[in-house]
């Protein structure tokens, strides 16, 4: 068996050097006329790092196979591996490099004509599966376009990224933090990117109190860039004691789905950087699945998610839901899906699944389909906690107030506890430079397992909610409701939230009237 030629051992890159390297790469990207802001630059840097990561992973698996004396089949063939076309500083450059990436057929680095790089990668799903990794690669590059117009600047980027060693845990750990900060910047740079990102303190709090355990399955059906899955992975990794548990965490625990190509690529990279070698992220619209077709074998133990809200789904998607439960509001469709996906007691399970879900205020006070969903939630589930977040936590993406719903499938709802997270003393609003901090959840975490009513906490019963027409938009009875001293922006945001719900309901009524008239 031929021996694999070992490359020279790379020198350790310090956290400071890695930060400087990434900063330098981003400065190069700013020079290219084809890229428009961070919303273009970060995706390009992501797919470049993705390919370098895959090659480093392949090298490690090749060496492991050699030590075991077993053959290894590469995921990516020569001459499409990073080492074949990107690793040499004086490798293909300029227009030749752009043609190799972009064209369906091009001159390859080995001097032969064949599929261009992206065309080759997109065709990987047609090959025999490689533990699902080839399908992942094909889906990632379905939505990738090289927007750089200078092949020389692109060569500079390749040379910078080639200095990152994805085989070194210290570098990957540092890069994962740098990558998280870039995702936040991307959210701030583009309004549409806000839907990809939930503030990390909110995510961490939801994971901590939901407390997933090894042996359970965890799902985010609208995973965006993967914040919930990353935090759940880190939480579960602390429980790993033996190799079998590590395999279980890597292969049988974390699942997600994402409909848009850009966040699909970003979540793959985010999870890879945090240590999940083969992320199990489905590509496509979660709501395309007919609700009644979700069987017991497809249900999960834990759902952690911030589903999109304010969107409108097409008629074909709404048809996947029961006629009386159809609505154009994306958040309400996702809530129905989440309820259906939770594991039931019995059918091999001694306890029901549990969920932590971010919802807008409209879900709490909405009637119509929203009320029917809440009726089912109280009857068939245990809605035990609603955490009301302060105004502006999700700014600048949205000023609509948000809430965290916690429920499980262990009996019907009795008491419903509310906890109102206060704005820090002296703070009037959140901003990019003054964002929500995890420490602000400290009192709520202390209260979680030892509950009693107080200035921030109160409870009601399911029966009282039914009497109110399933309105869960309860004000804190233990706090002074003094509108005269409320900040004008808070009042405006609250009114806009209610107005948006009213407009949505009016729109649905108009559609119904039109259908009847027709």
**What distance in Å separates the CA atoms of residue 291 and residue 298, rounded to the nearest whole number?**
11
Q: Residue 45 is encoded by which pair of tokens?
A: 């840097």
φ, ψ of residue 387 in degrees (nearest 5): -100, 120
Whole-number pLDDT of residue 39: 81
Please tell me whether the overall predicted TM-score, pTM, comes out greater than 0.85 for this model. no
Q: Where in the chain is the domain with CATH 3.40.50.150?
A: 198-270+283-472
Are 102 and 146 within 8 A, CB to CB? yes
What pLDDT, in 10s, does the model give residues 173-196?
Answer: 788 888 888 877 776 665 544 455
**What distance in Å separates the CA atoms of residue 80 and residue 112, rounded to the nearest whole number?**
12
Q: Which of 145, 192, 158, 146 shows the shortest CA–CA distance to 84? A: 158
Are 87 and 163 within 8 A, CB to CB? no
Q: Give the DSSP H/E element, type plus range, for residue 327.
A: none
Q: Which of 262, 189, 259, 198 shows the shortest CA–CA distance to 230? A: 198
Whole-number pLDDT of residue 484: 42
What pLDDT, in 10s, does the model give residues 25-57?
Answer: 999 999 999 998 888 898 899 999 999 999 998
Whether the bond between 79 and the residue before it is cis, its omega within 30 degrees of 0, is yes
Architecture of the domain spanning 15-167 = Up-down Bundle (1.20)
Q: Are strands 254-258 and 281-283 parallel, antiparallel or unpaired?
A: parallel
Rounded to the nearest integer, the mean pLDDT of the chain is 87
Q: Residue 23 is encoded by which pair of tokens?
A: 């900063």
Whether the bond between 396 and the residue before it is cis, its omega within 30 degrees of 0, is yes
Detail the DSSP E strand segments found in 116-231.
218-220
**What distance in Å separates the CA atoms of residue 25 and residue 5, rounded to the nearest whole number?**
30
What is the average per-residue pLDDT within 321-326? 94
Q: Residue 277 is encoded by which pair of tokens?
A: 């070698």
Q: Residue 349 is encoded by which pair of tokens?
A: 């399970």
The SS3 call for residue 305 is: strand
Fold adopted by 198-270+283-472 = Rossmann fold (3.40.50)
**What distance in Å separates the CA atoms of residue 391 and residue 453, rounded to the nearest whole number?**
22
* Percent of the chain whose predicted confidence (pLDDT) is above 90: 58
Q: Where in the chain is the domain with CATH 1.20.1260.30?
A: 15-167
């Amino acid at each position: 068996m031929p021996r694999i030629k070992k490359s020279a051992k790379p020198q350790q890159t310090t956290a400071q050097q890695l930060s400087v390297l990434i900063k330098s790469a981003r400065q190069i990207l700013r020079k290219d006329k084809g890229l428009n802001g961070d919303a273009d630059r970060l995706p390009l840097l992501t797919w470049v790092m993705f390919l370098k990561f895959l090659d480093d992973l392949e090298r490690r698996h090749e060496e492991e196979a050699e030590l075991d004396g077993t053959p290894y089949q590469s995921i990516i063939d020569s001459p499409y591996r990073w080492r074949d076309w990107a690793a040499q500083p004086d490798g293909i450059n300029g227009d030749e490099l752009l043609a190799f990436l972009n064209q369906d057929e091009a001159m390859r680095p080995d001097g032969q004509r064949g599929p261009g790089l992206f065309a080759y990668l997109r065709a990987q799903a047609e090959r025999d599966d490689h533990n699902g990794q080839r399908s992942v690669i094909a889906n990632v590059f379905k939505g990738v376009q090289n927007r750089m117009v200078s092949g020389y600047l692109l060569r500079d980027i390749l040379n910078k990224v080639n200095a990152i060693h994805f085989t070194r845990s210290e570098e990957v750990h540092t890069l994962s933090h740098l990558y998280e900060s870039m995702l936040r910047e991307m959210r701030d740079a583009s309004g549409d990117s806000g839907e990809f990102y939930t503030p990390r303190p909110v995510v961490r709090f939801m994971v901590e109190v939901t407390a997933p355990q090894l042996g359970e399955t965890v799902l985010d059906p609208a995973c965006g860039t993967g914040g919930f899955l990353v935090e759940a992975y880190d939480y579960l990794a602390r429980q790993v004691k033996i190799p079998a548990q590590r395999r279980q965490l890597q292969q049988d625990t974390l699942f997600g789905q994402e409909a848009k190509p850009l966040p699909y690529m970003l979540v793959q990279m985010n999870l890879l950087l945090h240590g999940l070698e083969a992320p199990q992220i489905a590509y496509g619209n979660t709501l395309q699945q007919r609700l009644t077709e979700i069987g017991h074998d497809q249900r999960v133990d834990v759902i952690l998610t911030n589903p999109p809200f304010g969107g409108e789904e097409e008629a074909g998607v709404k048809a996947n839901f029961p006629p009386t439960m159809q609505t154009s509001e994306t958040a309400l469709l996702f809530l129905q899906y989440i309820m259906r996906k939770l594991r039931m007691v019995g059918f091999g399970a001694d306890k029901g699944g549990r969920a932590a879900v971010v919802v807008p205020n409209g879900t709490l006070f909405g009637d119509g389909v929203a009320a029917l969903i809440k009726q089912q939630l109280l009857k068939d589930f245990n809605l035990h906690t609603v955490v009301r977040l302060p105004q502006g936590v999700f700014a600048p993406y949205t000023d609509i107030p948000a809430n965290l719903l916690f429920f499980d499938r262990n009996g019907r709802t009795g008491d419903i506890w509310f906890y109102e997270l206060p704005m820090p003393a002296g703070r009037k609003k959140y901003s990019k430079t003054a964002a929500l901090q995890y420490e602000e959840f400290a009192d709520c975490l202390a209260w979680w397992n030892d509950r009693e009513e107080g200035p921030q906490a109160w409870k009601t019963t399911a029966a009282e909610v039914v009497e109110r027409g399933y309105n869960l938009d309860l004000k804190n009875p233990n706090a002074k409701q003094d509108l005269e001293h409320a900040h004008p922006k808070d009042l405006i945001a609250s009114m806009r939230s209610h107005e948006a719900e009213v407009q949505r309901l009016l729109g649905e009524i108009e559609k119904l009237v039109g259908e009847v008239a027709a």
